[in-house]
Amino acid sequence: MGARWDGIPADVFMDILQRVPASPRRRLRVVCRHWRDVIDDRTRRRRRRHHARAKVLAFADDGLRLPRAYVLDDLTGKDAAGGKDLKLHGGVVDWDATMVGSCNGLICLHRYRGDAVVVNPSTGGKLAVPPPSKAPGETDASSYSFAYHPATALYKIVHVPCRGGAGAAFDAVSVFTLGDTSWREVPVPAGTSCHLSFGLVSVGGATYWVAADAHSLMSLDLKDERVAFVTKLPVRVGLWLDLSWHLTTDINGRVGLAVCSYEMKRTRTLKGCQTKVWMLEGGGKNKKTWALRYRIVEPGRDKPFHQIAWPHAVHGEHLLTTRNKREYELVSLHASPMSEVRAHCGVVRTDECAPPPSVGLYDNCRSVRTFAHVETREPLALYRCNDDDEDEVDDDVVEWTWKFDGEQGRWKLMLHCSLMDLTRAVRSEWW
């Protein structure tokens, strides 16, 4: 093998590999040492370029309108148009679709019926995903996460079976790998639970959540599919001074924790609101530790004026925050330059008269969630089941439902024609 392949230039070799689907491409590492070194080296370079090219995706949600997603090219505040509309139409249309995540340019949306759809906005490709076998009805979108494992090049949707806040213990989590025909139940250690108010985040080949004790960080390794305790949170959460809390991420693939709390004076009078953001650092042989990196200080306020954007809070050289104007049903997205944040030792002071630069304003909106996003031409047809061509949703189809086939033991996709197609059919039959 070495005599025939070691002499091939790395650029030529990678050009050949680019024509191979991502998942088999990673498995080619085991062929020989030369292949492994070239693939690993180019993968690291591609990951750095990926971070450099990533943009902020803002998902505007009001629970009533069609899903709206925008990609922001500029975070300096010079262009506050809100970004380019990705126009998630076709088979994605649903009145209560919620974005689960974005991985390498692919977007995962959860529908209120409990099923999901993966979309590539650049190509228009769509892939319908059935509901988990243990959650056939309506489920909370916050109990899902869309993930990618760089070593295996596999995309996975993770569902943690809990509802509301601190849920009861469960014995398995559901995992769907793009390209498979059904969900799998992954056993978890006894007593595993989830506090859903923290949300789920997926970075670095793992999905993270907080246990029902509101103090233990748990993770599902997406390669070995094993659930394990990671570490304790840096602070106790849920005390009477705490207003909100959730897990966050940054562009470098780190997990963070954002907690907004009242700040009291020594006289026990209200001093204002303060949001603190810790990032989990370290790894490998070094034990992971929490480091307090950012603070949003709001003196004299009885409720937060700005909130840390979530789940994606730190994008390159900007700290992302959102501001709600509920009386007008407006949400604005802001970006504080990290140079200013570092100059003030990680403190961002917000003032109603001089807020951080606005990079987007979204009307008829109750919340804006942020994600890191890159454009890709990756065809979703690579993950379509060969024996079930209808798993990919047609551009002209605007609705579908799932029906569980007891004999085959799996969900089957039932497509419905659009209103225009139905009108044409009625006209044809009438005349």
- pLDDT surpassing 70 at residue 5: no
Which is higher by pLDDT, 40 or 101? Answer: 101
pLDDT of res. 404: 64
pLDDT band at 395 (very low <50, low <70, confident <90, very high): very low
- Asked whether the predicted pLDDT for residue 168 surpasses 60, the reply is yes
What sign does the dihedral 236-237-242-247 (CA atoms) show? positive
The average pLDDT across 187-204 equals 93
pLDDT at 127 over 80: yes
Pairing status of strand 68-72 against strand 98-103: unpaired
pLDDT at 91: 52
Q: Residue 196 gets which letter from DSSP?
A: G
61-78: per-residue pLDDT in tens?
Answer: 876 667 788 999 888 777
Tokens 């959102």, located at residue: 322
Q: Residues 6 or more apart from 281 whose CB is under 8 A from it? A: 254, 288, 289, 290, 291
> Which pLDDT belongs to residue 206?
94
241 to each of 271, 295, 349, 368, how far by Cα in Å?
A: 12, 16, 20, 25
User: What share of the chain has pLDDT > 70, as a percent?
Assistant: 63
Most confident of 135-149, 337-351, 385-399: 135-149
Q: How far apart are the first and last CA of the chain?
A: 69
- Which of the four pLDDT bands, split at 50, 70 and 90, describes residue 396? very low
Predicted local distance difference test score (pLDDT) of residue 422? 41
226's CB contacts (< 8 A; 6+ apart) are 220
Report the pLDDT averaged over residues 267-272.
67
Phi-psi region at 286: left, alpha or beta (left = phi > 0; alpha = psi -120 to 50): beta
**Chain length of the chain:** 431
- Please tell me whether residue 141 adopts helix, strand or coil conformation: helix
Q: What is the pLDDT of residues 293-337, one digit of tens each?
A: 888 877 766 666 778 899 999 988 888 988 887 666 788 898 888
What is the residue-wise DSSP string for 56-98?
A: EEEEEE-SSS--EEEEES--SSS--S--EE----GGG--TT-E
**Distance (Å) of CA 364 to CA 59, 88, 152, 324:** 13, 17, 40, 11
Residue 424, token pair as written in the block = 């044409």
Separation CA 258–CA 244 (nearest Å): 8
Report pLDDT for 414: 60
Among 103-112, 310-319, 326-335, 340-349, the range scoring the smallest mean pLDDT is: 340-349
**Environment class of 343 (CB within 10 Å of its CB; exposed 0-12, middle 13-18, buried 19+):** exposed
Q: At 273, list the tokens.
A: 């609101």
**Confidence (pLDDT) at 270:** 62
Among the listed ranges 192-201, 267-276, 359-368, which one has the minimum average pLDDT value? Answer: 267-276
What does the angle CA 387 – CA 393 – CA 397 come to, to the nearest 5 degrees? 135
* Strand, coil or helix: 43: helix
Region 228-237: mean pLDDT is 92
Quick one: pLDDT at residue 97? 81
Among 82-91, 95-104, 229-238, 268-277, the range of highest mean pLDDT: 229-238
By 3-state DSSP, what share of the chain in percent is helix, strand and coil, each rounded to 5? 20, 40, 40
Per-residue pLDDT band for 123 (boundaries 50, 70, 90) equals confident
Whole-number pLDDT of residue 151? 80
Average confidence (pLDDT) over 247-269 = 83
Given a cut of 80, whether residue 155 has pLDDT beyond it is yes
CA–CA gap between residue 135 and residue 71 (Å, rounded): 32
Residue 14 has pLDDT above 80, yes or no: no
> DSSP code of 266?
T
Stretch among 13-27, 88-102, 304-318, 387-401 having the lowest mean pLDDT: 387-401
13-32: average pLDDT: 60
Q: Quick one: pLDDT band at residue 203, thresholds 50, 70, 90?
A: very high
Angle at 56 between CA 54 and CA 58, to 5 degrees: 145
DSSP designation for 180: B
CA 291 to chain centre: 23
Q: Where is pLDDT greater, at 149 or 140?
A: 149
pLDDT (average), residues 350-358: 66
Phi, psi values for residue 281, rounded to 5°: -120, 165
Is residue 110 pLDDT above 80, yes or no? yes
User: What single string gives the DSSP state of each residue in 339-399?
Assistant: HHHHHTTTEEE--TTSPSPEEEEEES-SEEEEEEE------GGGGS-TT-GGGSPPTT--E
Q: What is the pTM of this model?
A: 0.79
Question: Using 50, 70 and 90 to split pLDDT, how confident is the model at 22?
Answer: low
**Residues 183/174, Cβ–Cβ less than 8 Å:** yes
What residue ranges in 91-130 does DSSP mark as E strands?
98-103, 106-110, 116-120, 125-129
